[in-house]
Amino acid sequence: MLDTSILKSLLNYEFYEQNKGKLNRKLFADEIRSLYTVLIGAHETFQHDLTSKELLKIWETENPVSTRAEKAEIEDVLSLVDMEEEYNPDVASDVISKLWQRDVGKQIATIGLEISEGSSYAIQKAQELLEQYSGGFVEDEFGPNTTQDIDELKLDMDNTNRAKFNIETLSRRVYGIQRTEFGIIFAISNAGKTAFVVSLCLAPGGFVDQGHKVVILGNEESTRRTVARAYSAATGLTKEQVLEDTEKAKVIYHARTRGLIEYIDTQEWDLDKIERYIKKEEASIVFIDQADKVTIGGSFNASHERLREVYRRIREVAKRQNCAIFGVSQASAEAEGKTRLSFTMMEGSKIGKASEADLIIGIGKTEVEPDDEIRHLTISKNKISGWHGTIATKIHPQISRYTE
């Protein structure tokens, strides 16, 4: 526990600023905790050195109903503070750092017990905690500030670093997506969501043609069906033509894909396992179909709260694994027969899911002509280029491709 000598050092505002990132109430002895709480509030308000008398007066102001005994105890503690010799700032900082490390170790040990009891959510907590302190308990726990070097920033600003959409009208408006970004694709059933995914990946000029490693995760229908559609998208052959000459189809397909695309069923996987797989495959672009069905730990009061947390954590996976992720989602009944689908028409959460995305594409179709091959791509959220609107495209269901 930190003692009155450390509290005396913390009266110095500069010392407090240098060490506040490693301080919390639990590090102090019981009789000091209330004074520590008052001290940090005073430093954040006044931003200058404090005396023990000033700290006492602030404590009295913030505890107007304290008993005579409580006040006497605080006065006794501050008397000890006044009598203490100040530690050398380097020594005091080292003491704080050692106790902080010990506290983090206790947190990790507690989470380890939760994991041993079968809590999948605890694994996520452990991962977040370890990443937070991945620097190895060094003095600067925050890492470097964001660069202000425009020569470095231009790499983010330059479209050539993005995976380009192979629908020309769409790419003129948005161009594409890049690593760490999170997009959502949604539509009603049988509108062509899977065809859109494999078309973006494998139709001419798609992500695979551009040399990006793609992973398609399926936690709804079997990805064997997705692979069958992917054969048509990559080769331009219908299902009948593929079956008629499978050797020809294999040669074309493997020549096009070059080992840059993988598919796997993830129906029983939670998000932790999904992330480990993404890391193993070193994917640059990931599609999760359907993202709403991804399992995460934790307790939620309502389904929309769970969905928002699912999408928040998927976005964090994109950042940690340095990849772009698309979550494929279902539209609500409100979208039936609509050509323009706003993100408010997503199933389950009208705002929560959308708030986590950089880009949202709704695929709309008319119900007047059920066999109509026109599909309307509505960009209702776009933090990439800022453009919002609807683009008309055509789906070729026989070969699972989208074109102008």
Chain segment 188-213, per-residue pLDDT in tens: 999 999 999 999 999 999 999 999 99
Burial of 97 (0-12, 13-18, 19+ CB in 10 A): middle
Q: Residue 158: is its pLDDT beyond 80? A: no
Q: Which band of pLDDT confidence, cut at 50, 70 and 90, is reported for residue 217? A: very high
Contact 323, 284 (CB under 8 A): yes
Query: Going edge to edge, which strands form the sheet with 359-364?
Result: 261-265, 214-218, 285-289, 324-330, 182-187, 359-364, 374-382, 389-396, 401-403
pLDDT digits (tens, 9 = 90+) for 371-385: 689 999 999 999 999
Cβ pair 328, 196 in contact under 8 A: no
pLDDT tens, residue by residue, 340-365: 999 999 998 778 899 999 999 999 99
Cα gap 375→87, rounded to integer Å: 71
Residue 381: predicted pLDDT: 96
For strands 182-187 and 359-364, give the pairing. parallel
pLDDT of residue 139: 45
Number of H helices, E strands in the chain: 15, 11
Residue 400, token pair as written in the block = 């699972």
Amino acid code (one letter) for 17: E
Q: Is the dihedral of CA 113, 118, 119, 125 positive or negative?
A: positive
The confidence score (pLDDT) of residue 138 equals 45
pLDDT of residue 178: 94
Question: Integer distance in angstroms from the first to the last C-alpha of the chain?
Answer: 68
Per-residue burial over 238-257, b if 16 or more Cβ lie within 10 Å, else e, is: beebbeeeeeebeebbeebb
Asked if pLDDT for residue 142 goes beyond 60, the answer is no
Bridging pattern class, strands 261-265 and 324-330: unpaired
The amino acid occupying position 321 is Q
pLDDT band at 135 (very low <50, low <70, confident <90, very high): low
Torsion of CA 99, 102, 104, 105, to 10 degrees: 180
Place of tokens 């070729």: 396
Percent of the chain with pLDDT over 70: 94
Angstrom distance (rounded) from CA 173 to CA 155:
19
Longest dimension (CA), the chain: 93
By the 8 A CB rule, do 340 and 378 touch? yes
Q: Is the pLDDT of residue 141 over 60?
A: no
Of the pLDDT bands very low, low, confident and very high (cuts 50, 70, 90), residue 291 is very high
* pLDDT given at position 108: 80
Class of domain 4-132: mainly alpha
CATH architecture of 153-403: 3-Layer(aba) Sandwich (3.40)
**pLDDT for 279 beyond 90:** yes
List the chain domain ranges: 4-132, 153-403
The tokens for 205 are 């000029």
Burial class (CB in 10 A: 0-12, 13-18, 19+), 77: buried
Q: Which residues contact 180 (CB under 8 A, 6 or more apart)?
A: 318, 319, 322, 323, 324
Using only the alpha carbons of the chain, give its radius of gyration: 28
Least Cα distance to 127 among 145, 106, 112 occurs for 112
Tracing tokens 């769970």 back to the chain, one arrives at 306
Which tens digit of pLDDT belongs to each residue from 21-54?
888 787 887 778 888 888 988 888 889 999 999 9
For the record, the structure tokens of 83 come out as 């009598």
The answer to whether the Cα torsion of 200, 206, 212, 216 is positive or negative is positive
Helix, strand or coil, per DSSP, at residue 359: strand
3-class secondary structure, 364: strand
Using the Cα atoms of residue 171, residue 172, residue 174 and residue 180 in order, give the sign of their dihedral.
positive
According to the model, what pLDDT value does residue 24 have? 79
Report whether pLDDT(137) > 70. Answer: no
CA distance linking residue 218 with residue 54, whole number of Å? 63
* Across 142-164, average pLDDT: 78
- Tell me the two tokens of residue 164: 């380009």
User: Which among 298, 323, 329, 299 has a CA at the least distance from the CA of 311?
Assistant: 329
Which pLDDT belongs to residue 136? 47
pLDDT at position 270 is: 92
What is the rounded average pLDDT for all residues in the chain? 88
Cis bond before residue 290 (omega within 30° of 0): yes
